A and B are shown apart, each in its own frame.
Chain A
Amino acid sequence: MKHYQLPLAALTAIVLAACSSSPTQEPAPVANNAPIQVQPQQQPTTTTPVQPSGNPFAVLRDPNNILSKRSVYFDFDSYVVNQQYVPLVEAHARFLKANPSAKVLIQGNTDERGSSEYNLALGQKRADAVKKNLSLLGVPESQIESVSLGKEKPKAAGHDEASWAQNRRSDILYNGEF
């Protein structure tokens, strides 16, 4: 069930991501005007993400597995989970239901524009939106906590749309990662 036919560009991105110190191993998005795309079509989204033996949490860090994708990106002043991230959220819901000991912390973030406090509330809505989707897919509340970092901990330090797009984001962190 392992797939080795990833295109070279994706492999390069994965290697680069592995070199980064970021806990959420997200390939660096290309700086353009399009929303940052997680590419679920390259991932084995329909397989049950549980390995036959060993640590069941290892799949969370397997770059070939959609569970290694942890970020949901949002439009400006929006807290709607865009359709393209539904497969990602569904995969995490399946994993959480299959692994009741797993817990997630969802951290909502915003870009730097506007007030700290409104952005703190907006980041909370973004975290809650992902939390709500997981709940609707049957994940018990006790496995999910949502918090906001507002605009206070930007992942991308730039002051342009490419950076802002990266910072309008909810991250899914598993126990041991926060």
Chain B
Amino acid sequence: MKRRNFLSLCSAIAVVGLSGMASLAHAQLSIEISGAGASRIPIAVGTFEGENLLPRTISDVVRDDLERSGLFRRVETGPQPIPEATIPDFANWKGRGADALAVGAVGQSGGRFEARFRLYDVARAQGLEGQSYAFQADSYRDVAHRIADAIYAKLIGEPGIFSTRIAYVEKRGQQFSLVVADADGARAVAVLRSGEPIISPTWSPDGTKLAYVSFEAKKPIIYVRDIGSERRIVLANFKGSNSAPAWSPDGRRLAIVLTKDGLSQLYMVNADGSGVRRISNSSGIDTEPTFSPDGQYIYFTSDRGGAPQIYRMSANGGDAQRVTFEGGYNVSPRVSPDGKTLAYISRNNGRFQLMTMDLATQQTQVMTDSSKDESPSFAPNGRYILYATEAGGRGVLSVVSVDGKTRYRLSQQASDVREPSWGPLAR
């Protein structure tokens, strides 16, 4: 097996920058898995040699990542490290029921660490993947997520989302925070605090910026914040309300909602706040725009027919076609990265639930048994939907796979969390 080039980890550096700007570290969200897919790949992830030098072991994070995906089943390996440099005893691992085996080692030289891992196909007794990463001790989680992504990509055949980040709004008393965290909820960092509400954070397609709506000036205004530099611009501050930002797939424009001409209507604006132009013309509420992945269409919520329903129109404006027909309250559309599935929130017998619709067949599916679901957001590989819901009288974030087979919760003690947005794939 050929070892890939020695990768210095760009994202690790980026995230070091992120934690440097942290105003305050937050309590981590914890994972609660309930139910999982039936045909999961049994994988043994051995304890890495030398990883006890780190604050938490890399292999633990890799195992948790893979298990949470719902596509892997953990085969226990015991606490003893498995040598990384020697050929594994494949018959032994086959006997323990593992189809795949990952082993690794961590070394240290001059304050820097290096992690290596190898992935094996146990049945065929052959190596599949191997990589090496240099990193600082405090970015061991980046390395672990990278390794989990590499294993996932090799065995599942699509990008993993373990290195991605999420944003959400946390409320403690009357204090609102815009929080950025790892996709597993760890390393949560408040990038903005306010005594006034914050809603609708959304990641730019390149993952460097967040657009959001803040009431800090006593009315809703849209801002765009650069995550690395902490600089922010006012994207839209017109008379009345400014809200519901949605990035175009190329990151150059945003669809937004303004009331400057009276009703809540859709407008397009350049990413620097210039060139505002109206794109919808209805006699009711038009809001919650979101682009189709090809940038051709905008899906949005409108009550033009008397009750809120989801419609689709050209991103350049023009006539709209109604998309949802079942029920009297369908809001918050989001299109999957492959353009085939619509996630949205529907009121069903008084319960507000996450739904999906196959856009080719119009077939719909209720995704949850909860009653206060909000704010769906697709994982960038399209396999999962992150959404806000309520449990135990407070706001929590949950994830469900689009096939409905895997679900877990990112929960947090003593605070309300809401308005999640899943960031793009790590670069």
A interface residues, Cβ below 8 angstroms from B:
77, 113-118, 120-122, 124-125, 128, 146-150, 152-153, 159, 178
List 14 A-B residue pairs with CB atoms under 8 Å apart, sorted by A's residue number: A114-B347, A115-B332, A116-B375, A116-B419, A117-B199, A117-B288, A118-B285, A121-B257, A128-B262, A146-B240, A147-B240, A148-B241, A153-B197, A178-B218
- CA–CA, A113 and B374, complex, Å: 9
- CA–CA, A158 and B180, complex, Å: 29
Q: A115-B345, A116-B419, A124-B240 are in contact. List 10 more A-B contacts (CB 8 A).
A: A114-B345, A115-B332, A115-B374, A117-B287, A120-B243, A125-B285, A147-B241, A149-B215, A152-B197, A152-B199
Do A121 and B352 have beta carbons less than 8 Å apart? no
Within 8 Å of chain A (Cβ to Cβ): is B244?
yes
Within 8 Å of chain A (Cβ to Cβ): is B331?
yes
Within 8 Å of chain A (Cβ to Cβ): is B372?
yes
Do B199 and A114 have beta carbons less than 8 Å apart? no
- CA–CA, A149 and B240, complex, Å: 11
In the complex with contacts A121-B257, A147-B219, A152-B197, A115-B241 CB distance below 8 A? no
Do B372 and A117 have beta carbons less than 8 Å apart? no
User: With a CB–CB cut-off of 8 A, which chain B residues contact A113?
Assistant: 347, 352, 372
| Contact residues of B between 238 and 269, Cβ < 8 Å to A | 240-241, 243-244, 257, 259, 262-264
Q: DSSP class of A's interface residues: helix, strand, loop or mixed? A: mixed
User: With a CB–CB cut-off of 8 A, which chain A residues contact B352?
Assistant: 113-114
Do A117 and B200 have beta carbons less than 8 Å apart? yes
Closest chain A CB from B282 CB (angstroms): 12
In the complex with contacts A115-B301, A115-B331, A124-B264 CB distance below 8 A? yes
| Contact residues of B between 384 and 427, Cβ < 8 Å to A | 393, 418-419
Within 8 Å of chain A (Cβ to Cβ): is B85?
no
Do B220 and A116 have beta carbons less than 8 Å apart? no
Do A118 and B257 have beta carbons less than 8 Å apart? no
Within 8 Å of chain A (Cβ to Cβ): is B329?
yes
Do B241 and A120 have beta carbons less than 8 Å apart? yes
User: With a CB–CB cut-off of 8 A, which chain B residues contact A115?
Assistant: 288, 301, 331-332, 345, 374-375
User: With a CB–CB cut-off of 8 A, which chain B residues contact A152?
Assistant: 197, 199, 215
- Most-contacted residue by chain B among A117, A147, A149, A159 (CB, 10 A): A117
User: With a CB–CB cut-off of 8 A, which chain B residues contact A122?
Assistant: 285
Closest chain B CB from A138 CB (angstroms): 20
Within 8 Å of chain A (Cβ to Cβ): is B233?
no
In the complex with contacts A124-B259, A148-B241, A118-B220 CB distance below 8 A? no
Do A120 and B219 have beta carbons less than 8 Å apart? no
User: With a CB–CB cut-off of 8 A, which chain A residues contact B375?
Assistant: 115-116
Instruction: Across the A-B interface, give the 4 residue pairs with the lowest CB-CB distance, nearest first.
Output: A152-B197, A121-B264, A121-B285, A115-B331
| Contact residues of B between 89 and 142, Cβ < 8 Å to A | none
| Contact residues of B between 205 and 243, Cβ < 8 Å to A | 215, 218-220, 240-241, 243
User: With a CB–CB cut-off of 8 A, which chain A residues contact B332?
Assistant: 115, 117-118
Within 8 Å of chain A (Cβ to Cβ): is B153?
no
Closest chain A CB from B45 CB (angstroms): 40
User: With a CB–CB cut-off of 8 A, which chain B residues contact A147?
Assistant: 218-219, 240-241
- Most-contacted residue by chain B among A120, A146, A150, A153 (CB, 10 A): A120
Within 8 Å of chain A (Cβ to Cβ): is B308?
yes
Closest chain A CB from B217 CB (angstroms): 11
- CA–CA, A124 and B244, complex, Å: 14
- CA–CA, A114 and B243, complex, Å: 16
Do A118 and B308 have beta carbons less than 8 Å apart? yes
Within 8 Å of chain A (Cβ to Cβ): is B156?
no
Residue of B nearest to A112 (CB): B372
User: With a CB–CB cut-off of 8 A, which chain A residues contact B308?
Assistant: 77, 114, 118
Within 8 Å of chain A (Cβ to Cβ): is B16?
no
Within 8 Å of chain A (Cβ to Cβ): is B307?
yes
Residue of B nearest to A120 (CB): B243
| Contact residues of B between 365 and 380, Cβ < 8 Å to A | 372, 374-375
Residue of A nearest to B376 (CB): A115
Contact of A118 among B197, B301, B419 (CB under 8 A): B301
Residue of A nearest to B198 (CB): A152
User: With a CB–CB cut-off of 8 A, which chain A residues contact B199?
Assistant: 116-117, 120, 150, 152
Residue of A nearest to B351 (CB): A113
Residue of A nearest to B419 (CB): A116
User: With a CB–CB cut-off of 8 A, which chain B residues contact A178?
Assistant: 218
- CA–CA, A178 and B301, complex, Å: 31
User: With a CB–CB cut-off of 8 A, which chain A residues contact B240?
Assistant: 124, 146-147
- CA–CA, A66 and B347, complex, Å: 38
Closest chain A CB from B164 CB (angstroms): 23
- CA–CA, A124 and B240, complex, Å: 9
Closest chain B CB from A122 CB (angstroms): 7
User: With a CB–CB cut-off of 8 A, which chain B residues contact A150?
Assistant: 197, 199, 220
- CA–CA, A152 and B199, complex, Å: 9
Do A77 and B307 have beta carbons less than 8 Å apart? yes
In the complex with contacts A115-B331, A117-B199, A118-B287, A124-B215 CB distance below 8 A? no
Closest chain A CB from B18 CB (angstroms): 26
- Most-contacted residue by chain A among B307, B308, B393, B419 (CB, 10 A): B308
Do A116 and B200 have beta carbons less than 8 Å apart? yes
- CA–CA, A117 and B331, complex, Å: 9
Do A124 and B393 have beta carbons less than 8 Å apart? no
Closest chain A CB from B48 CB (angstroms): 43
- Most-contacted residue by chain B among A114, A116, A146, A153 (CB, 10 A): A116
User: With a CB–CB cut-off of 8 A, which chain A residues contact B329?
Assistant: 77, 114
Residue of A nearest to B286 (CB): A121
